[in-house]
Amino acid sequence: MNNFEIKKQPQKYDAIVIGSGISGGWAAKELCEKGLKTLVLERGRPIEHRTDYITEHKAPWDFDLRGDLTREEKKEYSQNARIGYLDKTALHFFAKDSESPYLEEKPFVWARGYQVGGKSITWGRYTFRISEMDFEANKMDGNGVDWPIRYNDIAPWYTYVEKFAGISGEKLGLSHLPDGDFQKPMDLNVVEKHIRKRFQEEYNDRYLTIARAAVLTEQIGDRAPCHYCGPCWRGCSTGSYFSSVSSTLPAAEATGNLTIRPYSVAHSIMYDKNSGKASGVVVIDSETKETIEFNADLVFVCASAMASTQILMNSKSDTFSEGIGNTSGVLGRYLMDHHLGLEINATMPGFEDKTTMGNRPVGFYIPRYRNLNGQEPMSEFIRGYGWEGSAYRESWGKAYGLDGFGADFKKEVQQAGPWQVGMWGFGETLPYYDNHVRLHESETDELGIPKLVFNAEIKDNEKSMRRDSLATMAEMLEKAGCQDIEAIDNPAGAVPGFGIHEMGTARMGRDPKTSYLNGYNQSHEVSNLFVTDGACMTSSPCQNPSITYMALTARAVDYAIDQKKKRNI
């Protein structure tokens, strides 16, 4: 992409999109394809598809420290290093905490991707629809506010984005994990198939399936099926997984309507009191430190959940002293993330004449099996959790657990160990008013933007859910024939932000007094302002959420353009 805007007296655009990650990329594609001259503001650096995947296909020995971070790098990433898997192979796609400070009133890991494509380059790629049960949950149990939409409102949009993104997976016919428009699934391995079969024999409500993922098994345009090299998060030259850089931004660019401006930090959204609309975005060029105003008819905020809310809060005017569209004061509240750190490790005896070949970038998924419609509700907790995992032959990591050294030791390490099963759970977090972000009163970053203060934690419902999840999964694996089952509640993984599924803080709802957005991701108060990333979420169903942001974004653009035609915006 070479059409970067460098003019200081820019034209007026039809639309501005803040952010170029999963949501921003979709907003850009949909707006451009519908003929709107669209400016995408990206605070980070430009990324060229293929060329800038500098660690792709490198072997471990190509890294002189074999992926370890240096002392200096650990300091630069002092808060994010807690994620645990941050290493040299993808470090360049994560923002430095030292350059992008935030404050933890309570512990919070804020992972950010400051580049064109945002976190869509490094995301986990799992894509599960949320269901009618999820959309009804707040209303049924009285937590949070009712979602202003139901499954049928979003279902056609799921199909629309799935066809373009390319989702491989298996249809299961479950109402709580609706099927989509899938490419052929990747294969489960022999032990995973065995566990699946044992679950089917033992339970009528528990399934193991290959995870539905935005990784191709069939060609789409110039995007090739997966070649099974493994570490998608380094970038993929064949475009085999969905990212903004491989998929939506090229489609947007092909229309001739797209301008991407990197190094453009959105400071605030301008509000025009006379028209009652957003008039554009104030940008600080992070290279020149210039402040530039860009004007547009429509503003889509897709900066990632927490950053979007930060920008909205920082958009203060006579009309909106607490942030644009925030008369309700709800902005920043009801922060959610999936709680992780539910870890299971087990051994599966047998199958020792079998192994696998190829680095499959997708594991298995065990959909939620608690508090489903038709089941007796749990007394200990509401909502539920799902599990991800994989089965594999124990490899050279066994060396750490073996006594001794020398030739016999080496020989033993060379032979595969038993089959192991590794799993990690994702739990839903309820929307709590207390869990919030806010702007710090005085501390700013080097560009003068107030730092974000995080104050969120899991509470009793999540803690009860954690106990149940570990106990039930240990029992299920035992019934499946596993041994040496370790079920660990790792509190580090329950720190909000660790899931990198931040949701809420500008939630959708029916009532402008208790929600920020309506059912079309449109600000209740500012009609040409839309927020379509994770900030919009009214609850946090345990499914990986990105496909929902894609669908909501495409739906919101469709609505915005319709309203614009009708001159309602």
Partner 1 sequence: MDRRFALKNLTLSGMGLALSPALLSALEGCTPAYDPGYVLQSLSPAQDQLLAQLVEIIIPTTETPGARAAGVNQYIDRVFARVSEPNEKTKFLNGLDKLSETDFLEMNEVEQIETLRSWEKSSDPLESEFFSTLKDMTIYGYYTSEIGASQELKYVHATGFYNGDLPYDEIGKNFY
Q: Using an 8 Å Cβ cutoff, are 351 and 190 in contact?
A: yes
The structure tokens listed for 459 are 């509470």
Find the shortest distance in angstroms from Cβ 347 to partner 1.
16
Q: Using an 8 Å Cβ cutoff, are 519 and 157 in contact?
A: no
In 3-state terms, what secondary structure has residue 399?
helix
Q: Using an 8 Å Cβ cutoff, are 299 and 36 in contact?
A: no
Q: Does 349 bind partner 1 (CB under 8 A)?
A: no
Find the shortest distance in angstroms from Cβ 98 to partner 1.
18
Q: Does 218 bind partner 1 (CB under 8 A)?
A: no
Q: Does 460 bind partner 1 (CB under 8 A)?
A: no
Q: Using an 8 Å Cβ cutoff, are 479 and 198 in contact?
A: yes
- Phi, psi of 544, deg, nearest 5: -60, 130
- Dump strand ranges (E) for 511-563: 529-531
The structure tokens listed for 152 are 């049928």
d(CA 180, CA 155) in angstroms, rounded, equals 9
What contacts 565, CB < 8 A, 6 or more positions away? none
Residue 8 burial (CB < 10 Å; 0-12/13-18/19+)? exposed
Q: Which of residues 187-216 bind partner 1 (CB under 8 A)?
A: 187-190, 192-193
Q: Which stretch binds partner 1 (CB under 8 A): 318-326, 354-362, 426-434, 489-497?
A: 354-362
Find the shortest distance in angstroms from Cβ 189 to partner 1.
3
d(CA 345, CA 482) in angstroms, rounded, equals 10
Q: Does 396 bind partner 1 (CB under 8 A)?
A: yes
Q: Does 70 bind partner 1 (CB under 8 A)?
A: yes
Q: Does 139 bind partner 1 (CB under 8 A)?
A: no
d(CA 46, CA 63) in angstroms, rounded, equals 24
The structure tokens listed for 42 are 């990206």
d(CA 468, CA 368) in angstroms, rounded, equals 12
Q: Within 10 Å of residue 283's Cβ, how many Cβ atoms?
A: 24
Find the shortest distance in angstroms from Cβ 23 to partner 1.
28
Residue 401 burial (CB < 10 Å; 0-12/13-18/19+)? exposed
Choose which of 400, 441, 442, 566 interacts with partner 1 (CB under 8 A).
400
Q: Does 85 bind partner 1 (CB under 8 A)?
A: no
Q: Does 6 bind partner 1 (CB under 8 A)?
A: no
Q: Which of residues 235-254 bind partner 1 (CB under 8 A)?
A: 237-238
Find the shortest distance in angstroms from Cβ 361 to partner 1.
9
- Compute how many residues bind partner 1; rule: CB under 8 A: 62
Q: Between 58 and 467, whose beta carbon lies closer to partner 1?
A: 58
Q: Using an 8 Å Cβ cutoff, are 53 and 336 in contact?
A: no
Find the shortest distance in angstroms from Cβ 434 to partner 1.
37
Find the shortest distance in angstroms from Cβ 15 to partner 1.
32
Q: Does 447 bind partner 1 (CB under 8 A)?
A: no
What contacts 43, CB < 8 A, 6 or more positions away? 114, 262, 263, 264, 265, 266, 286, 303
Find the shortest distance in angstroms from Cβ 27 to partner 1.
28
- Dump strand ranges (E) for 189-290: 209-210, 258-261, 264-272, 277-285
Q: Between 60 and 374, whose beta carbon lies closer to partner 1?
A: 60
Q: Does 407 bind partner 1 (CB under 8 A)?
A: yes
Q: Does 229 bind partner 1 (CB under 8 A)?
A: yes
Q: Between 60 and 173, whose beta carbon lies closer to partner 1?
A: 60
Q: Does 150 bind partner 1 (CB under 8 A)?
A: no
Q: Which stretch binds partner 1 (CB under 8 A): 16-24, 99-107, 241-249, 398-406?
A: 398-406
- Phi, psi of 60, deg, nearest 5: -55, -35
Q: Does 53 bind partner 1 (CB under 8 A)?
A: yes
Find the shortest distance in angstroms from Cβ 315 to partner 1.
39
Q: Please report how the helices 460-480 and 190-202 are oriented relative to each other, as an axis angle in degrees rounded to 10.
A: 100
Sequence letter at residue 217: T
Q: Does 413 bind partner 1 (CB under 8 A)?
A: yes
Q: Between 69 and 372, whose beta carbon lies closer to partner 1?
A: 69
Q: Between 183 and 518, whose beta carbon lies closer to partner 1?
A: 183
Q: Which stretch binds partner 1 (CB under 8 A): 154-162, 412-420, 442-450, 497-505?
A: 412-420
Q: Between 48 and 460, whose beta carbon lies closer to partner 1?
A: 48
Q: Is the Cα torsion angle 289, 115, 554, 364 positive or negative in sign?
A: negative
Q: Does 415 bind partner 1 (CB under 8 A)?
A: yes
Q: Between 287 and 408, whose beta carbon lies closer to partner 1?
A: 408
Q: Does 257 bind partner 1 (CB under 8 A)?
A: no
Choose which of 3, 11, 35, 54 interacts with partner 1 (CB under 8 A).
54
Q: Does 140 bind partner 1 (CB under 8 A)?
A: no
Q: Which of 567, 556, 517 is nearest to 31 (CA)?
A: 556
Q: Using an 8 Å Cβ cutoff, are 421 and 345 in contact?
A: yes
Q: Does 2 bind partner 1 (CB under 8 A)?
A: no
Find the shortest distance in angstroms from Cβ 21 to partner 1.
23
What is the Cβ-side half-sphere exposure of residue 216, based on CA atoms within 13 angstroms?
A: 23
Point out which residues bind partner 1 (CB under 8 A).
50-62, 64-71, 186-190, 192-193, 222, 224-225, 227-229, 237-238, 352-360, 393, 395-396, 399-400, 403-407, 409-411, 413-416
